[in-house]
Structures are given as structure tokens and as C-alpha cells.
Amino acid sequence: MSTPEIVILSLVVVLLLVAAAFLVRRRRSHDLRSRFGPEYERAVEERGGSRAAEAQLAEREKRVRHYRLTALGAEERQRFALAWRKLQAQFVDNPKAATTEADALIGRVMSARGYPEGEFDRRLEDLSVDHAEAVQNYRAAHEVALRHARGEAGTEDMRQAMIGYRTLFDDLVGEAPETRRLAS
């Protein structure tokens, strides 16, 4: 082969490698966007770009993969469902206490499923891996709980928070993330 042919062949190989890297990155972005939904956009906004956001979301996935997440047994599901029904009944007479207790119940369900205890932001990140849609409701509900603690949330706000908590509660009390991953 002549020198010009080697140069041209080398350029073609480099271009193919660049194109392949671009396609792999694009596919990864698409997969993360699909999996995390609105949480993807939020991460991009918080991190100032898709590259940093995607690295953070991939780290979340890696971290959560090491947890021993399990489905709740029938008895646990019944116990948590009963606790939720009591909260809903309590809401009529004491919306503030019911909303506060709903947040705590979510924490107990998470622990029973195998999520580690921790600060709200870390728990939210962990949940976003397998419960991306419900996590948006959880974030909004938690914000209402914080506003309630400052005396800034009304009864309608707390009702909306209970709906948000219920969405995540139903998601957590349902099937195991491993089952969901295998189905998709």
C-alpha cells in the first residue's frame, strides 16, 4: 500500500471510530432519558449539561444495583396497606398529622424493601432508578411537608401531597424492581 492509501485508510478508520463513539453516547443518552423520564431533565438542569447528568444517573444505577431490594411479602403488603388506609382516614380529622405520617410511612416501606436509610435527597436519587415517575410526586409531596412545617401549606396542599405519597406508596408496595427490570 502506498502512503496516500494508508493515510486515507487511517482517516476512514478514525472517522468510523468517532461515528461509533457518537452513536454509543447517543444511545446511552436515549436509554437514560427513557428510564429516568423527568428526572433526566432535572439532572441535566442541575448539573449544567447532559454529560455530567448522565454520569450522575449512571452512578445512581450502579449504587442501587448493589442494594438487595426485595418485594414485600403478602403479610408486609397487608400491614402497610392497612397503615395507609388509617392515614387516609386520619386525614379527614387531622390533615397535618396524616401528611407527616405519610412521609414517615414511605420511609418504613423503603427500609422494608431494602433501601438504606439516609437523607431525603439520597433516598430520592435511589428511588429514581426504579421509580422515576413516582419520584416526581414524592419530591412535590415532601416539599409540601416542609412548607407545612413552616406553616405555609393549606389543607388542599396537604391533600395533593397525600396523592403524591400514595403514588410512590403504591409503586413501592407493588412488584420488586428486579421483576420490573426483567419485564422491560
Which pLDDT belongs to residue 108?
95
Give the lowest-confidence range in 26-30, 33-37, 115-119: 26-30
Which pLDDT belongs to residue 88?
92
Mean pLDDT of the region 135-151: 89
- Asked which of 65, 85, 112 is the last residue of a domain, the reply is 65
Task: Please check whether residues 53 and 119 belong to one and the same domain.
Answer: no
- Asked which of 65, 83, 105 is the last residue of a domain, the reply is 65
Burial zone of 77 (CB within 10 Å; 0-12 exposed, 13-18 middle, 19+ buried): middle
| pLDDT over 60 at 177, yes or no | no
pTM: 0.75
| pLDDT over 50 at 179, yes or no | no
Task: Please check whether residues 121 and 175 belong to one and the same domain.
Answer: yes
Which pLDDT belongs to residue 91?
92
How far apart are alpha carbons 91 and 93 in whole angstroms? 5
Task: Please check whether residues 98 and 176 belong to one and the same domain.
Answer: yes
Task: Please check whether residues 106 and 153 belong to one and the same domain.
Answer: yes
Task: Please check whether residues 57 and 83 belong to one and the same domain.
Answer: no
> In the chain, how many domains are there?
2
Task: Please check whether residues 59 and 82 belong to one and the same domain.
Answer: no
| pLDDT over 60 at 175, yes or no | no
Number of neighbouring beta carbons within 10 Å of residue 47: 15
| pLDDT over 60 at 124, yes or no | yes
Give the lowest-confidence range in 39-43, 152-156, 172-176: 172-176
Parent domain of 16:
3-65
The identity of residue 148, as a single letter, is: H
